[in-house]
């Protein structure tokens, strides 16, 4: 069945104390909204509608960045969760299929959970995701009659007996889209909060003879983020899960608690990640690679058998082929390093192509930026770049060519040639001895 996601994210997020809309605060390098979108992907949604409020433009940009097809609707006044869902009805007019309501500030719902909800929809008109709360606090309470859900009562409106119920509402709801909008249109705001509660649709549905049920999940999945402290806790939870998953996938983490993953990090089997490595978004590492301590990687690809670090930085567009070596204090940006190339010490390689087996000496820099434009450097296979070479781009070093240490290379070097571009050495016999003797004599006279 076709599915549409409706992701609510118009709430003020007051407790974040931030100019950034709450749903754009990142976890593992992606806005929490994107985590919710990714959970929803489990249902292969045909449509995704995001209900935004303050900062809708920024929310739109971030959401489109992840999925260009999403629709954004704006809820100008936050009158409650039912009112928020109603904002999506025009965007989904004519849509036939199920709608699933997710919250943009609830990033950890597992795909399996949403699939269980979709399966339960075969037997019920409305499926609500619930959980047994360790501390039910202010959550909405799910009032059951056998395996059927009768209604949901918000904490503020609940009686003492109802408050004693520990089965709570996560907020995630699935129903036929047009049924959902019909029900939502019937919700009023005569309650303790004066809000249009999405939760009221269950009572209205059962009164109409529709059936509702609950699918439960672990409380941790329903974790919502309202403050910076909760954001930090969510980050910690994500990292703990990511580390466990990486190890289960056959990756060695020598000190797992010191490695930080992004939401989309992919690492192949039998790779090793040493302590204090940070992965930004967009990193893929093939099997059998070695990421040594204190390295920072983002937007890059590392192939089988490559060794990175310690203390290396791979920036977006770094492409390391098999058995490449990138050593300490080396930064690589937007550069392709072919098989077996070595950049072992203290270098910057940016906007470049480095041929197979080329050896880049310590301290080499591709001078790619003239203050206005970026320029490209090409280094041929098996070239030998002497230590401390400045490669002033655009420039090409031919296959098997060589540059003398300390050269500033501004012109192309042909295959197999040697380029030396530095002042000629001039030795002055005895000069140093005479010079120091003179200085010392001056010092003694003065004392
Ligand atoms: C809601 C549920 C409650 C449930 C809890 C789980 C209702 C009435 N209550 O309560 O039963 O236990 O979530 O966390 O639904 N939002 C909008 N527009 C609005 C109001 C809210 O987009 O006008 C969005 C918020 O950004 C947030 C989500 O809806 O992502 C939930 O809103 P929130 O105010 O946090 O609901 P709760 O009071 O926590
Ligand atoms: Ca909430």
What tens digit of pLDDT does each residue of 203-254 get? 999 999 999 999 999 999 999 999 999 999 999 999 999 999 999 999 999 9
Mean pLDDT, residues 351-374: 98
Q: What is the pLDDT of residues 165-197, one digit of tens each?
A: 999 999 999 999 999 999 999 999 999 999 999
Q: Which of 33, 176, 11 is nearest to 83 (CA)?
A: 11
Pick the atom of ligand 1 nearest to 51's CA.
22
When divided into structural domains, the chain yields a total of 2
pLDDT of residue 54: 87
**Candidate from 7, 9, 11, 224 with most ligand 1 atoms within 8 A of CB, to mutate:** 11
**Candidate from 56, 77, 81, 223 with most ligand 1 atoms within 8 A of CB, to mutate:** 81
The neighbourhood of ligand 2, an ion, using CB within 5 A, equals: 224
Distance (angstroms) between ligand 1 centre and the Cα of 199 equals 9
CB within 8 A of 173, min separation 6: which ones? 100, 101, 126, 127, 128, 129, 180, 198, 201
- Return the half-sphere exposure (C-beta side, CA atoms, 13 A cut-off) of residue 258: 14
Distance (angstroms) between ligand 2 centre and the Cα of 223 equals 9
Question: Average per-residue pLDDT in the chain?
Answer: 97
Same domain, 336 and 405: yes
What's the rounded Cα separation, in Å, for the pair 8 and 87? 10
What would you report as the CA-atom Rg of the chain, rounded to the nearest whole angstrom?
30
Same domain, 176 and 273: no
Looking at the predicted structure, is the pLDDT value of residue 447 above 70?
Answer: no
Same domain, 240 and 271: yes
pLDDT of residue 11: 86
- Return the half-sphere exposure (C-beta side, CA atoms, 13 A cut-off) of residue 279: 29
CATH number, domain with residue 386: 2.160.10.10
Same domain, 64 and 111: yes
pLDDT of residue 85: 98
Three-state DSSP class for residue 425:
coil
CB within 8 A of 183, min separation 6: which ones? 126, 175, 201, 204, 205
Pick the atom of ligand 1 nearest to 152's CA.
11
Mean pLDDT, residues 261-266: 98
pLDDT of residue 343: 98
Mean pLDDT, residues 61-76: 97
pLDDT of residue 12: 79
What's the rounded Cα separation, in Å, for the pair 10 and 81? 9
Same domain, 109 and 124: yes
Question: How would DSSP label each residue in 263-287?
Answer: TT-EE-TT-EE-SS-EE-SS-EE-T
Mean pLDDT, residues 409-435: 98
Mean pLDDT, residues 68-72: 97
Same domain, 143 and 71: yes
Evaluate whether residue 431 is within a structural domain: no
Question: How would DSSP label each residue in 174-187?
Answer: EEEHHHHHHHHHT-
CATH number, domain with residue 187: 3.90.550.10
Same domain, 238 and 264: yes
Same domain, 72 and 210: yes
Q: Quick check: 87 and 73 in contact, CB under 8 A?
A: yes
Same domain, 264 and 161: no
The ligand with the least distance to the CA atom of 107 is 1
**What token pair was written down for 436?**
């120091």
Evaluate whether residue 442 is within a structural domain: no
Mean pLDDT, residues 87-98: 97
Same domain, 202 and 266: no
Evaluate whether residue 413 is within a structural domain: yes
State the angle between helix axes of 56-66 and 32-40 in degrees (0 to 180), rounded to the nearest 10. 50
**What token pair was written down for 173?**
């709801």
25 classed as catalytic: no
What's the rounded Cα separation, in Å, for the pair 312 and 442? 48
Query: What residues are in contact with ligand 1 under a 6 Å CB criterion?
Result: 8-11, 51, 75, 78-81, 83-84, 103-105, 139-140, 152, 154, 168-171, 197-199, 224
Query: Which residue range forms the structural domain that includes residue 276?
Result: 228-419
pTM above 0.85, yes or no: yes
User: Running DSSP on this structure, what letter comes out for residue 124?
Assistant: -
Distance (angstroms) between ligand 2 centre and the Cα of 155 equals 12
Distance (angstroms) between ligand 1 centre and the Cα of 82 equals 9
**What token pair was written down for 299?**
């937007």
> Domain boundary at 165, 191, 222, which?
222
Evaluate whether residue 116 is within a structural domain: yes
Looking at the predicted structure, is the pLDDT value of residue 291 above 90?
Answer: yes
Distance (angstroms) between ligand 1 centre and the Cα of 81 equals 6
**Atom 39 in ligand 1: which residue has the minimum CA distance?**
139
Mean pLDDT, residues 98-125: 97
**Measuring CA to CA, how many Å separate 432 from each of 298, 424, 427, 436, 446?**
49, 19, 10, 6, 21
Evaluate whether residue 424 is within a structural domain: no
**Measuring CA to CA, how many Å separate 272 from each of 171, 255, 290, 312, 313?**
40, 11, 5, 15, 17
Evaluate whether residue 133 is within a structural domain: yes
Distance (angstroms) between ligand 2 centre and the Cα of 213 equals 22
How big is the CA angle at 226 (ends 222 and 230), to the nearest 5 degrees? 75
**Atom 6 in ligand 1: which residue has the minimum CA distance?**
170
Same domain, 178 and 289: no
Q: What is the pLDDT of residues 297-324, one digit of tens each?
A: 999 999 999 999 999 999 999 999 999 9
Evaluate whether residue 75 is within a structural domain: yes
Three-state DSSP class for residue 144:
strand
Pick the atom of ligand 1 nearest to 78's CA.
23
> Domain boundary at 222, 250, 275, which?
222
Evaluate whether residue 445 is within a structural domain: no
The ligand with the least distance to the CA atom of 9 is 1
Mean pLDDT, residues 20-32: 97
Same domain, 374 and 401: yes
């Amino acid at each position: 069945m076709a599915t549409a996601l409706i992701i609510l994210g118009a709430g003020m997020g007051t407790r974040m104390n931030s100019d950034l809309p709450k749903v754009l605060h990142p976890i593992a390098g992606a806005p929490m909204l994107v985590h919710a979108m990714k959970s929803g992907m489990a249902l292969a949604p045909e449509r995704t509608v995001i209900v935004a409020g303050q900062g809708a433009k920024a929310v739109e940009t971030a959401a489109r960045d992840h999925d260009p097809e999403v629709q954004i609707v704006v809820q100008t006044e936050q009158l409650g969760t039912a009112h928020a869902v109603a904002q999506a009805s025009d965007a989904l007019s004519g849509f036939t299929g199920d709608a699933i309501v997710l919250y943009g500030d609830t990033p950890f719902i597992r795909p399996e959970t949403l699939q269980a909800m979709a399966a339960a929809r075969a037997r019920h008109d409305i499926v609500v995701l619930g959980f047994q709360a360790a501390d039910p606090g202010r959550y909405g309470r799910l009032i059951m009659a056998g395996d059927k859900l009768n209604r949901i009562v918000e904490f503020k409106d609940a009686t003492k007996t109802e408050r004693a119920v520990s089965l709570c509402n996560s907020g995630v709801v699935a129903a036929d889209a047009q049924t959902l909008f019909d029900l939502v249109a019937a919700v009023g705001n005569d309650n303790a909060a004066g809000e249009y509660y999405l939760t009221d649709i269950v009572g209205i549905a059962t009164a109409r003879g529709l059936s509702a049920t609950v699918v439960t999940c672990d409380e941790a999945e329903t974790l919502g983020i309202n403050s910076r402290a909760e954001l930090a806790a969510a980050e910690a939870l994500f990292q703990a899960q990511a580390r466990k998953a990486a190890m289960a996938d056959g990756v060695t983490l020598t000190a797992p608690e010191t490695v930080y993953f992004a939401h989309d990090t992919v690492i192949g089997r039998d790779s090793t990640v040493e302590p204090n490595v940070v992965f930004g978004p967009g990193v893929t590492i093939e099997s059998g690679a070695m990421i040594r301590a204190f390295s920072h990687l983002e937007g890059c690809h590392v192939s089988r058998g490559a060794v990175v670090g310690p203390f290396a930085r791979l920036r977006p567009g770094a492409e390391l082929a098999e058995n490449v070596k990138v050593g300490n204090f080396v930064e690589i940006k937007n550069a392709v390093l072919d098989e077996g190339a070595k950049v072992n010490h203290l270098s910057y390689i940016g906007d470049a192509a480095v041929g197979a087996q080329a050896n880049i000496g310590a301290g080499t820099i591709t001078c790619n930026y003239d203050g206005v434009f970026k320029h490209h450097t090409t280094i041929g296979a098996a070239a030998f770049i002497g230590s401390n070479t400045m490669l002033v781009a655009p420039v090409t070093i031919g296959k098997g060519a060589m540059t003398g240490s300390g050269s500033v290379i501004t012109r192309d070097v042909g295959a197999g040639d040697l380029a030396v571009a530095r002042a000629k050495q001039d030795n002055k016999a005895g000069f140093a001895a005479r010079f120091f003797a003179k200085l010392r004599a001056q010092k003694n006279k003065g004392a």
